[in-house]
Amino acid sequence: MISRTLGKSGLEVSAIGLGCMGLTFGYGPALPEKEAIALIQHAIELGVTFFDTAEAYTQGANEALLGKALKGYRQNVVVATKFGFKDGIATNGLDSSPKRIIQVVENSLKHLQTDVIDLLYQHRVDPQVPIEDVAGTVEQLITAGKVKHFGLSEAGVDTIRKAHAVQPLTAAQSEYSLWWRTPEKALLPVLEELGIGFVPFSPLGKGFLTGTIDANTSFDATDFRNVVPRFSADNREANTPLINAITDIAVEKKVSNAQVALAWLLAKKSWIVPIPGTTKIERLKENVAAASIIFTNEELQNIDAALSKINVQGDRYPAQLQQLTGR
């Protein structure tokens, strides 16, 4: 596995990380702990050194799982986690008050069984708390040696600039993929200007870009894709041309759809590090292998030309969650 540096921070991580959310949260029943630990440790064996979790992924249980899995490996990996929701529950609303940030960090350190958090994100921007206060609190935690790097998730460019002026940001996190390219318009230029790394989550379109989901796919009752407009049966059907285009590229390149999606992201910028999630070791291996796939400039131009003819249907979040992005 090759390494990348997130912006100008000096934080070196594997070119592809592992998003751990789906191991306990969001995509149906949690993976049995033994299997989840085995998957995380297998990722390390494959060269993955960057692991992403959050307080809000099952109120610390996801962090605790990662902490168990990283025993004996902690010094060789980079752990990112997040604060920002009341009581660690996304549906309870936002809370990035300094007191809450400090408490979440203490909780996260215990869950992760570590003495420092490598990268701490604000999960969503809290309009009730000035971002300068948030950045200042994280700066204090960095000075105290409890946090190494600061990041923002789903933040707008003005907020990023304000936070960066107080405590330099190492990374910004947002959705970015072959079916959600909005970050290219304003976000990526600002990150490049400021020297901030970019960590795309849902780089496989919450599974849709793999080509294994169609209009007839049924999700578990607890799977949050059930409320995502882009995953309505009609929109899945309407977005089939996108999958067909990716499949054509994958066949020509002799790789999988998922590998096309990940290798395309890696080709965009040298400071982009996607964090696909999975519960299956065979998919983990497939994702990691994407780091060695290189697209020529001509191939990238052909991909862009093919995608430019497709209008993706459906919002990526229900309205109440969409309001929390881009602030």
The confidence score (pLDDT) of residue 80 equals 98
Region 176-187 average pLDDT: 96
Q: What is the pLDDT of residues 219-233, one digit of tens each?
A: 999 999 999 999 999
The confidence score (pLDDT) of residue 257 equals 97
> What torsion do the CA atoms of 167, 170, 172, 173 make, to the nearest 10 degrees?
-130
pLDDT over 90 (residue 109): yes
pTM score: 0.96
pLDDT over 90 (residue 321): no
- C-alpha span between 219 and 225 (Å, rounded): 7
- CA-to-CA separations, 152 to 28, 107, 173, 283, in angstroms, rounded: 26, 19, 6, 28
% the chain with pLDDT above 90: 94
pLDDT over 90 (residue 205): yes
Q: What is the pLDDT of residues 294-303, one digit of tens each?
A: 999 999 999 9
pLDDT tier for residue 104 given thresholds of 50, 70 and 90? very high
pLDDT tier for residue 93 given thresholds of 50, 70 and 90? very high
With contact defined as beta carbons under 8 Å apart, do 150 and 167 qualify?
yes
Pick the residue with more confidence: 17 or 28?
17
List the CATH code of the domain at 3-205+265-294: 3.20.20.100
pLDDT tier for residue 49 given thresholds of 50, 70 and 90? very high
Where do the structural domains in the chain lie, given as residue ranges? Answer: 3-205+265-294
Residue 57: active-site member? yes
With contact defined as beta carbons under 8 Å apart, do 108 and 88 qualify?
no
Dihedral-angle region of residue 24 (phi above 0 means left; psi in -120 to 50 means alpha; beta otherwise) = alpha
DSSP conformation class of 220: -
Give the active site residue among 57, 121, 176, 317.
57
For the chain, the residue count is 327
